[in-house]
A and B are shown apart, each in its own frame.
Chain A
């Protein structure tokens, strides 16, 4: 029960839900398709974050940078070469994401804890502003991107990206890579002594996560119909995936998707009931999740002794 991939039953149920989600386009309902695509997109971003933040323990506050880069790759392909193929866009985006992660990762991953978090935040913000000054990328004005006529292709593509990311996380978690990541998270110095090269594995974790985020971004650009720096590097796309992973269960395979579903459901039902104050409620939700579910739902299900063990952990956090 549990272990590096998280609670096994929960994982099976989640995969089941993922399979069900694949059938949403058959409903021929634009609203549900849009909603489902959003869930899948955030789940992918969350999975990408989960690799570096959950498994490796390096809390990144800048993964939106890769999402944005992926989105711009796709938009640039349309704007300059009239290329609308999703396959080309996703592949190019993945390359861009991995390259940036590797290049930026080498200096930035040397930092730890708070410093790493701020550095990634700074990286994302700096990137947004730099892109806003590059005319070839539309500068601050951005581009309109004309979507494919077969619009459901975007849903299918996002589903494939999400499913692929979940599968990758599962395989990685159970492989040598996964154990190396966790070893780094638990005690980086000990891991190094035992022969795990931290720099190499950290960069790999970040690069794979970046690939996921970039792929999601590439599909997003066409689906959205418009891209500009605030849209591509939105704070929501940065913070929500983290909250979702936290809600569902950090360091598990199923956690991100679960968190994405629950948080999206809460958000959708909030704004329609409380149009004026839903963001306020959302802030309250974040606070409650963070205080009462410090590691997420899946760990809650998993802990021996259930609620009492969780309460004990919470007790250890206070002053």
Chain B
């Protein structure tokens, strides 16, 4: 083949490749009467499911606001829209998409992705772009120790997740004394486990086991047999749904009995109860929110958790869990902050977010100087006779904790 033919064919291929990248569908340009939020959310990859839950939470808020007259900012009424991209559960992609949303699609503000790693890279990006981001799904502490000013998280930080269970345990009789903690070896879970261990030691309980397992492990028998040998009163786990299921089953299979079984993730999820059936009873879970939580929200949105849950279920066909609620809460933070600031200017909205102090159906939304909502307590749920009940703190409880958990053979 001649040199020229080669060169031409070659250049054609490369030009085609470059053209493919740029010829993407025209972005929805933010027009004068719509506030556009951008969100890079997992639609595929390991976080696909949680990404979908987050999207539902965001969309619920968007549809509610648009159906109730939109947002009133500085005397003008705006509709609300959200532009989504799939970050493939990949943190680098999340950052790239945030850049795209701001520099190409000219969105006004950013709603956070799902997951701590994705939130971390997105936080670095919005700091550079100087556009505020509120997220409800990335609780790792290292995001907030970098001095970032543009990222706010509505959820309680990771270390609090299991503390509620221990707090409740101290009030029960006979008081449990020993704690065994297992955690998945990832950003979030490790923090959860350490937070529980620190609380336990500070309040007179003894941590008799604290160990990590690989994040994607398929086998937990070694941990379970070690925990069994300690005979701990309280058995806690910081991890994800898969591991919670695996652990609970293995506890039954190896006949591990404890007075309290607690998981940071799992009991809240309908899948947990559906898959385990009766074996899920008596299990405690730390939760950001549940439909039975008794907060009274400020005007402007649904103030009652039960009403939120009912309307959400009518719209999407399933009872909302905390992923949905915390995503809606992220939108609420923006809503109240923007309305208070009276403008769409990113700087002023950022400042309004920093000074936000409002109670919603999800709980209090208020951020410390790092951007974390340390003011939000974790509640504790327990699965009682197949139903999820909020058992702690006393102010939002709708059932008493069932304690102690009977042995497997006695059920």
Contacts and interface: CB of A to CB of B under 8 A. Distances in A.
Interface stretch (A101-109, A116-124, A261-269): A261-269
A151 B128 contact: yes
B7 A38 contact: no
A31 B11 CA distance: 24
Interface in B313-357: none
A279 B190 CA distance: 30
Contacts of B405: none
B1 interface: yes
Q: How large is the interface on B (under 10, 10 to 19, 20 to 34, 35 or more residues)?
A: 35 or more
B102 to A, nearest CB: 7
A9 B7 contact: yes
A301 B7 CA distance: 9
Contacts of A279: 44-45, 88
Interface in A22-64: 29-31, 33-35, 38
Given A10-B6, A133-B185, A264-B21, A31 B100 contact: yes
B24 A31 contact: no
B133 interface: no
Interface string A239-266: 0000000000000000000100110111
A30 B103 contact: yes
Given A224-B121, A261-B18, A271-B86, A231 B13 contact: no
Contacts, number: 161
Contact of A141 (B102, B104, B140, B146): B140
Contacts of B256: none
A301 B1 contact: yes
A234 B104 CA distance: 28
B71 to A, nearest CB: 27
B95 interface: yes
B187 interface: yes
B120 A29 contact: no
B91 A265 contact: no
Given A8-B3, A261-B14, 12 more contacts: A10-B7, A38-B96, A139-B185, A140-B184, A140-B212, A142-B187, A144-B124, A228-B186, A236-B90, A262-B14, A268-B24, A275-B84
Interface of A: 1, 7-10, 12-13, 17, 29-31, 33-35, 38, 129, 132-133, 139-144, 146-147, 151, 224-226, 228, 230-231, 234, 236, 258, 261-262, 264-266, 268-269, 271-273, 275-276, 278-279, 297, 301-302, 306
